[in-house]
Amino acid sequence: QKEVEQDPGPLSVPEGAIVSLNCTYSNSAFQYFMWYRQYSRKGPELLMYTYSSGNKEDGRFTAQVDKSSKYISLFIRDSQPSDSATYLCAMIVAGKSTFGDGTTLTVKP
């Protein structure tokens, strides 16, 4: 079993929709929880990080962590075609990142 499981895609939504991306994990020692965005044929780009349970908001993006359930989510409000990308969750323990396989999102105009 993988340490980090990410909801498989692909996910296709109309412009303006609210998007929910989710990951579960098994290692309770994970310290940081991140979301990366990866455009096609590019490297991942850090979107958000958090280290505690609860919500963290940044513009149209909200990261949510529930440590008791070992579950993290990324919500995108008012989704735009430019949000079309693969979203990777990642978690850190002892300086080492473990990534999910990614969910590919397409936002249709």
Partner 1 sequence: DAMVIQNPRYQVTQFGKPVTLSCSQTLNHNVMYWYQQKSSQAPKLLFHYYDKDFNNEADTPDNFQSRRPNTSFCFLDIRSPGLGDAAMYLCATSRERGNYEQYFGPGTRLTVT
Binding site for partner 1 (CB under 8 A): 4, 32, 34, 41-46, 49, 51, 88, 92, 94-102, 104
Tell the smallest beta-carbon distance from residue 54 to partner 1 (Å): 17
Residues near 42 by beta carbon (within 8 Å), at least 6 away in sequence: none
Cβ nearer to partner 1, comparing 4 with 76: 4
Type of residue numbered 26: S
Tell the smallest beta-carbon distance from residue 17 to partner 1 (Å): 23
Cβ nearer to partner 1, comparing 18 with 31: 31
109 to 14, 16, 39, 40: CA distances (angstroms): 6, 9, 18, 18
CB atoms within 10 A of CB 44: 19
Tell the smallest beta-carbon distance from residue 78 to partner 1 (Å): 26
